[in-house]
Structure 1
Amino acid sequence: MQSRRIVAAVHTVLAALHIYWATGATWPASDERSLSRAVLGVQVSFAPQVVLPLAALHLLLAFAVLKSDRSSVARLVVTGLTAGLAIRASLGVVWAFSYSSTAFYWLNLLLYTPACIALCGADVRMLRIRWVKPAVVAGPLAVVTALALVAYAYQPSEQPHPAETGRYVETPLARIHYLQQGTGSPVVLLAPGASPASAWDQEMAVLAKNHTVYAVDLPGQGETRLHDEGFAFDLNGMTNALEQFLDALHLQNVVLGGNSWSGGWALAYAQRHPQQVSKLLLLAPSGLDEPDVASWEILKLPLVGEVLGKLATDRSMVASAVRGLFVHRNLVTPQLVDTLWIPGTYRDNVRSMYALERGLDWSVTEKALPSTRQPTLVLWGDHDTVLPVAQAARFAKLLPNATVRVLANCGHALTVDCPGQVTPLMAAYLK
């Protein structure tokens, strides 16, 4: 009975803590973002509609624990609770080997995981059926072990590389792949997010009439191949790779463009090397210190990110994800899906998905926005499902020389979903 009271008291305290957070308080953190990252390792809302149901769940669990000796329903609830705690404890042990300097890492190591192990042990003692006791522990352990094998041992098969198109330049970091068209002043377009450089094909064809246009696969994208397996997928790494590309081709005073992540990389490079960038073309860019959608935020968790990144190499999953980026879904052809899917199976590119999500610190770029002086064109689709269109107004407010346009009936993949609107605006801005 004593163990039941202790476990019930723990859940009651957790319920009270969630009710406290529902008031808008964020103790022991300084703000909601820090609280979320410390408690969960990712950024989610702590709004009342989120935390109050969790408070109710903890109160239900406390009641079920106290009644587990009398009610079969309560015992069933405790069995599920024990299995859940076993899963969390197992994940916590795995995460303990994935060192990081975050508050979540140390709290997981010193508080969350030991507490889950202790509560799981206490719950096991309450279970009456003998075979259930090992099952609710062994089952979750087997699941987490299988996930760990997928995360750290399994490697998806790389699809055959397509016939070579474009050009390559050797740098200390990588053999960088790029496309080149036209003559005139240089315009460098960074492959959008997790897409290859060919995503800029339609824009390149028009801009090349007056400029030398380069579309570049940075590390983790397209056909670029890293020389260094320990490459850090963060802002320093990506901007350094871009610097090496520009130096190798002796490009100075360039126009830089990017879409999604690559818009943020272009922005970061312009902030660090203002004398080398004359204008910016940013299409639904990263760069604001805002949470990503949940499907991307979850990649920040060790093991979870690796598993999802590797399973996402399935072609049908890629096709579904691509359709979610488009308003004009008739443009999502099998050929387009293959163009995006095949490079996404390469080892470095798989790792880049979760490594970039963890490593990119956009607070740096947001803080530097007011001092970013280059004339900047910002384009955003009003049906963006990845980065909310409301962020366009933030860029308009924080960037001193920004021209911001919101495009009707366009999604996140602007270069391929809405080239008919994007290309004329880019061409006109460069004149």
Structure 2
Amino acid sequence: MSYEIKQDDKFRFIEEGEGEPLVLLHGLFGAMSNFGPLIDYFKQYNKVVVPILPLLDMDILHTSVGGLAKFVHKFIETRGYKNVHLLGNSLGGHVGLVYVLKNEPTSIKSIILTGSSGLFENGMGDSYPKRGDYEYIRKKTELTFYDPAMATKELVDEVFGITNNRLKVIKIIALAKSAIRNNLGEELNQIKLPTLLIWGNNDTITPPFVAREFNKLIPNSELYFIDKCGHAPMMEVPDEFNVILHKFLKKLNEPATVS
């Protein structure tokens, strides 16, 4: 499914459907394709928005979690979105959290995190591959999922293309280091927004204990685990993911009952 990429000022993004905005932030090796089933389902109920994050296009000084959080802030401000449900996978979740913590934006209604960094993550490991090591990239891409078959040739080729470019590799390492440095453990208790955590029980990059820690530290949070699922639940088990998310969003819009 291909979507029209819109442009507003310097921002490029997908915007499908009507209703409260559901803004989706992808991870370090992520792309819009990660959210296909989610866009198709939620555009019936929400305005689904996927900004193209300039992960590898910012100057090296601003290639950081904080730099991306500023970008998201400007994007939401420029578009004038209100009552936003902000969803982030992996690094995208981390960026969303930093944006909310730094700006305390009144435009955000809820946060949804799935496989988010910000507390702990297993990255590419200590050694970065030599450029051109396709097999290494294939194995690393497979580790994202419970089912290695999810790492299609198309997906591996996409990641390989990024890691085969010297400048892009420098920026990826800068972002990965920034994510590790930018640990949010001390600040998460400041987040008062309703927060949904959807986690793969077989996530090896941000393992289940990370989800439990987020749940413990974010006061108004609820946690769901999905079995036989890795680091990208919205890709690997989209039907289950969508049901959990839809229930959460519907509950937020129910009138509060007076006891």
The CA deviation at 1:257 is 0.6
- Bigger fraction of residues in strand: 2
Larger helix percent: 1
8 Å CA contact retained: 1:198, 1:215: no
Q: Is the alpha carbon distance of 1:407 and 1:346 closer, same or farther for their aligned partners in structure 2, counting shifts above 3 Å?
A: same
2:25 aligned partner, one-letter code: L
Matched letter for residue 236 of structure 2: D
Matches within 5 A, 1:354-393: 354-360=173-179, 361-363=181-183, 365-393=184-212
Over 3 Å counting, the alpha-carbon distance change for 1:330 and 1:376 in structure 2 is same
Pair 1:420–1:342, CA change in 2 (3 A): farther
**Are residue 185 (structure 1) and residue 20 (structure 2) matched?**
yes
What residue is the counterpart of 2:122 in the other structure?
293
Mark the CA change 1:294 to 1:348 in structure 2 (over 3 Å): closer, same or farther: closer
Equivalent residues of 1:206, 1:427 under 8 A apart: no
Q: What secondary structure sits across from 1:367 in the alignment?
A: coil
Map 1:21-170; keep pairs closer than 5 Å.
166-170=5-9
What is the alpha-carbon distance in structure 2 between the residues aligned to residue 371 and residue 243 of structure 1? Answer: 18
Q: Which residue of 1 is the match for residue 257 of structure 2?
A: none
Q: Return the offset for 1:310.
A: 6.2
Q: How does 1:251-270 map to 2 (within 5 A)?
A: 251-270=81-100
In the alignment, structure 1 residue 416 sits paired with structure 2 residue 198: no
Deviation (angstroms), 1:414? 1.9
2:254 matched residue in structure 1: none
In structure 2, the residue matched to 1:244 is 74
Q: Is the 8 A contact 1:190 1:257 kept in 2?
A: yes
- Alpha-carbon distance, 1:322 to partner: 1.3
Q: CA deviation at 1:425?
A: 1.1
Distance 2:150 2:64 in 1: 32
Instruction: Report 1:300-311 matches (<5 A).
Output: 308=128, 311=131
Query: Secondary structure of 1:400's partner?
Result: coil
Pick closer, same or farther for the CA change 1:396–1:294 going to 2, 3 Å: closer
What displacement does 1:408 show?
0.7
Aligned-partner Cα distance in 2 for 1:348–1:249 = 31
Query: Would you say the 8 A contact 1:168–1:178 is kept in 2?
Result: yes
Cα distance in 2 for partners of 1:294, 1:372 equals 26
**CA–CA distance in structure 1, aligned partners of residues 166 and 182 of structure 2:** 25
Once the 2 structures are TM-superposed, how far is the Cα of residue 377 of structure 1 from its aligned partner?
0.5
Residues 293 and 331 of structure 1: CA distance in aligned 2, closer, same or farther (over 3 Å): closer
Look up the match of 1:324. Answer: 143
Taking structure 1 as reference, are residues 370 and 236 closer, same or farther at Cα in structure 2, changes over 3 Å only? same
Query: Within 2, Cα distance between the matches of 1:421 and 1:384?
Result: 16
1:426 to 223, 245, 252: 245
Distance in 1 (CA, whole Å) between partners of 2:163 and 2:32 is: 13
Count of aligned residue pairs for this structure pair:
247
Q: Would the aligned equivalents of 2:66 and 2:95 in 1 still touch at CA under 8 Å?
A: no
Q: Give unmatched runs, 5+ long, in structure 2.
A: 251-259
- Equivalent pair of 1:284/1:387 in contact (CA under 8 Å): yes
How far does residue 211 in structure 1 lie from its aligned partner after superposition? 0.7
Q: Quick one: which amino acid aligns to residue 182 of structure 2?
A: W
Which one scores higher on RCO, CA 8 angstroms, separation ≥ 6? Answer: 2
Corresponding residue for residue 406 of structure 1: 225
Q: Structure 1-normalised TM-score? A: 0.53
Deviations 1:291-318 (A, max 9, x none): x43744x26xxxxxxxx2662x644433
**Residue number in structure 2 paired with 1:218:** 53
Whole-Å Cα distance in 1 between the matches of residues 172 and 231 of structure 2? 17
Q: Indicate the structure (1 or 2) with the bigger Cα radius of gyration.
A: 1
**AA in 1 matched with 2:113:** L
CA distance in 2, matches of 1:169, 1:344: 29
Residue in structure 2 matched with residue 71 of structure 1 by the alignment: none
- Deviation readout 1:146-194 (Å, 9 max, x if unpaired): xxxxxxxxxxxxxxxxx996234443xxxx4322211111111001232
SS of structure 1 residue aligned to 2:177: helix
Gapped regions of structure 1 (runs ≥ 5): 1-162, 300-307
Asked whether the equivalents of residues 180 and 212 of structure 1 are also in contact (C-alpha less than 8 Å), the reply is yes
User: How far is the alpha carbon of 1:339 from its aligned partner?
Assistant: 4.2
In 2 relative to 1, CA 294–273 (structure 1 residues): closer, same or farther, beyond 3 Å? closer
TM-score, normalised with respect to structure 2: 0.85
Letter in 2 for 1:265: V
Shift of 1:243: 1.3
Equivalent position of 1:282 in the other structure: 113
